[in-house]
Amino acid sequence: MTDAPRRTPLDALHRSLGAVMTDFAGWEMPLRYGSERDEHTAVRTRAGLFDLSHMGEITVTGPQAGQALNHALVGSLAALAPGRARYTMICAESGGILDDLIVYRLAEDRYLVVANAANAQVVLDALTERAAGFDATVTDDRENYALIAVQGPESASILAGLTDADLAGLRYYAGLPGTVAGVPALIARTGYTGEDGFELFTAPGDAERLWRALTEAGREAGLTPCGLSCRDTLRLEAGMPLYGHELSTALTPFDAGLGRVVKFDKAAAGGTDRADTATTPGTPVDFVGREALEAAAARAAEAPPRKLAGLVAEGRRVPRAGYAVVDAGSGAVIGEVTSGAPSPTLGRPIAMAYVDPAYAAPGTPGVAVDIRGSHEPYEVVALPFYRRER
């Protein structure tokens, strides 16, 4: 790749705020503006403002849009009610995870698929190919959206001052079109931080106006601009997987402990009456990867693969992705760290790691991480590390 990094519509604004920028999936994104620990704490206790315009938006429209997505993805999207969103995955024929996605059903015949920046082209290509036999159109909308997230316990009250939308009626994993600060936006109650929060999809030309209005409205509540560094520690504390770390083409959803996203029994029209369905409503549909995933599910049930576990340090040295998890007694390698960071909330380093099932139960003694040659003791805990009080 020799392409110059891409910049979001808020690039100049980030630089004026003194952001430390980083190259992320071909984009120059804010890593942090000041202290990443302060940004993390702001989201946990007040609210944080994120530019996520690198995310890849793909629109699927048409009378068979839902069926096309049922065929292309592992989830049951035809059954999704308009106005709701779902976490799902797109897999290869082999069952390997190509990406994890959030899919919003914006209307009966209109879906918005949000892919990770690094995988957006792969997802776009796969969706285009897989939708070919359906009366559905797949559109690359990456250039048509900016994405701004407001996350944290104060986010609803901050947003409420800028919109007439019914935020109280907007449930977690729901989205509705509205106007925020005079700017048209899809208002979604989703996020990647473990806190209540909103993601606002808007036109690139409106992004700066929206960001500035949110900054102003959130000043008193302590809204803080936040970079990708704290986004990573926030999602890690919340036990949320990140593609390229916990998820990859080498793993099926069952290997990642996320077999629940695979809906083998999804029906063509999800039980709703539709005159235009190509198959009989109620009949399970075929989808890309079904055969391999059925085998993966059976394998996971008989001989569980390595399990994703939470690790909390007893000391202060930080585990990083790729470090070996070892049996503290024998030194034998029993797993591998996929993500690790100092946890601002716990005050100790934490990690997610794939470990042999015999070591995966919370409280399993004698587990250590090989940190550059030194075996540091770690406690095995249940995920997530952090769960907000509701």
Partner 1 sequence: MSNPQQLRYSKEHEWLSAAEEGVSTVGITAHAAEALGDVVYVQLPEVGATVTAGEPCGELESTKSVSDLYAPVSGEITEVNQDVVDDPALVNSAPYEGGWLFKVRTDDSAGEPELLSADEYAAFAGG
Cβ closer to partner 1: 316 or 388? 316
How far is the C-alpha of 49 from the C-alpha of 149, rounded, in Å? 6
Q: What's the min distance (Å) between Cβ of 31 and partner 1?
A: 8
How far is the C-alpha of 68 from the C-alpha of 78, rounded, in Å? 9
Closest to 104 in 3D by CA, of 60, 51, 146, 160: 60
Closest to 319 in 3D by CA, of 387, 364, 366, 377: 377
> Computed over its alpha carbons, how large is the radius of gyration of the chain?
21
How far is the C-alpha of 50 from the C-alpha of 235, rounded, in Å? 13
Cβ closer to partner 1: 110 or 245? 245
Q: What's the min distance (Å) between Cβ of 15 and partner 1?
A: 15
- Cβ neighbourhood burial of 316 (10 Å; 0-12, 13-18, 19+): exposed
Distance, C-alpha 70 to centroid of its chain: 20
Cβ closer to partner 1: 69 or 351? 351
Cβ closer to partner 1: 37 or 274? 37
Binding site for partner 1 (CB under 8 A): 20, 31-32, 35-37, 229, 233, 316-318, 320, 341-342, 349, 372
Cβ closer to partner 1: 35 or 144? 35
Q: What's the min distance (Å) between Cβ of 388 and partner 1?
A: 21
In 181-322, where do the E strands start and end? 183-188, 197-202, 223-225, 307-313
Q: What's the min distance (Å) between Cβ of 351 and partner 1?
A: 13
Kindly state the DSSP code that residue 174 receives in the 8-state scheme.
B
Q: What's the min distance (Å) between Cβ of 324 and partner 1?
A: 16
Q: What's the min distance (Å) between Cβ of 35 and partner 1?
A: 5
Cβ closer to partner 1: 289 or 349? 349
How far is the C-alpha of 119 from the C-alpha of 263, rounded, in Å? 22
Cβ closer to partner 1: 40 or 263? 40
CA distances from 54 to 117, 144, 204 (A): 6, 11, 11
Cβ closer to partner 1: 22 or 364? 22
Q: What's the min distance (Å) between Cβ of 39 and partner 1?
A: 10
Q: What's the min distance (Å) between Cβ of 160 and partner 1?
A: 32
Cβ closer to partner 1: 149 or 234? 234
Q: What's the min distance (Å) between Cβ of 350 and partner 1?
A: 12
190 and 170 Cβ atoms separated by less than 8 Å: no
Q: Report CA dihedral (179, 183, 189, 192) to the nearest 10 degrees.
A: 180
Strand order in the sheet with 146-151: 175-180, 183-188, 197-202, 146-151, 47-51, 223-225
Q: What's the min distance (Å) between Cβ of 19 and partner 1?
A: 12
> Rounded to a whole number, what is the distance in angstroms from the first to the last CA of the chain?
45
How far is the C-alpha of 283 from the C-alpha of 263, rounded, in Å? 13
Cβ closer to partner 1: 136 or 318? 318
Distance, C-alpha 382 to centroid of its chain: 20
- β-pairing verdict for 349-355 and 307-313: antiparallel
